[in-house]
Structure 1
Amino acid sequence: MLIRMEIPVDAPGIDSLLKRAFNRDREAALVRAMREDGLLTLGVVATDDEGEVIGYAAYCPVWIDGEDHQWVALAPLAVDGAWRGQGIGRRLVYEGLDTLNEFGYSAVVTLGDPAWFNRFGFEPAARWQLRTSWPGTEAALQLFQLAESALDGVSGEISWPAPFAVTDR
Structure 2
Amino acid sequence: MNIIIRQERSKDNNITEEVVQSAFANMEFSDKNEHELVARIRKSDAFIPELSLVAVDNEIVGHILLSKIKIMNDNQIVQSLALAPISVLPAYQNKGIGRHLILEALKRAKELEYESVVVLGHPEYYPKFGFKKASLWGIKAPFEVREEVFMVLELKENALNNVSGVVKYSNAFFDK
TM-score for both structures, normalised by structure 1: 0.91
SS at structure 2 position matched to 1:104:
coil
- Deviation of 1:10 after TM superposition, in Å, equals 1.2
Deviations 1:21-74 (A, max 9, x none): 11265111111111112422220110112xx21111101111111655231010
Q: What code does the residue aligned with 1:55 have?
A: G
Q: How many residues align?
A: 165
Find the counterpart in structure 2 of residue 144 from structure 1.
153
CA RMSD in angstroms comes to 1.6
Q: In structure 1, which of residues 64, 76, 84 is the aligned counterpart of residue 85 of structure 2? A: 76
Write the mapping of 1:16-165 to structure 2, written as runs, cut at 5 A. 16-23=18-25, 25-41=32-48, 42-49=51-58, 52-65=59-72, 68-165=77-174
Greater alpha carbon shift after TM alignment, 62-71 vs 133-142: 62-71
Q: What code does the residue aligned with 2:64 have?
A: A
Find the counterpart in structure 2 of residue 2 from structure 1.
4
Percent sequence identity over matched residues? Answer: 32
* Whole-angstrom distance in 2 between the partners of 1:11 and 1:137: 32
Unaligned 5+ segments in structure 2 are: 26-30
* Whole-angstrom distance in 1 between the partners of 2:157 and 2:128: 19
Greater alpha carbon shift after TM alignment, 18-27 vs 100-109: 18-27
Greater alpha carbon shift after TM alignment, 39-48 vs 158-167: 158-167
Greater alpha carbon shift after TM alignment, 80-89 vs 65-74: 65-74
* Whole-angstrom distance in 1 between the partners of 2:45 and 2:165: 25
* Whole-angstrom distance in 2 between the partners of 1:132 and 1:37: 20
SS at structure 2 position matched to 1:40:
coil
- Deviation of 1:147 after TM superposition, in Å, equals 0.9
Q: What code does the residue aligned with 2:95 have?
A: Q
* Whole-angstrom distance in 1 between the partners of 2:146 and 2:172: 18
After superposing on structure 2, the runs of 4+ consecutive aligned residues of structure 1 that deviate more than 4 Å are none
Contact kept, 8 Å, 1:69 with 1:106, in 2: the verdict is no
Deviations 1:88-110 (A, max 9, x none): 00000000000000000000110
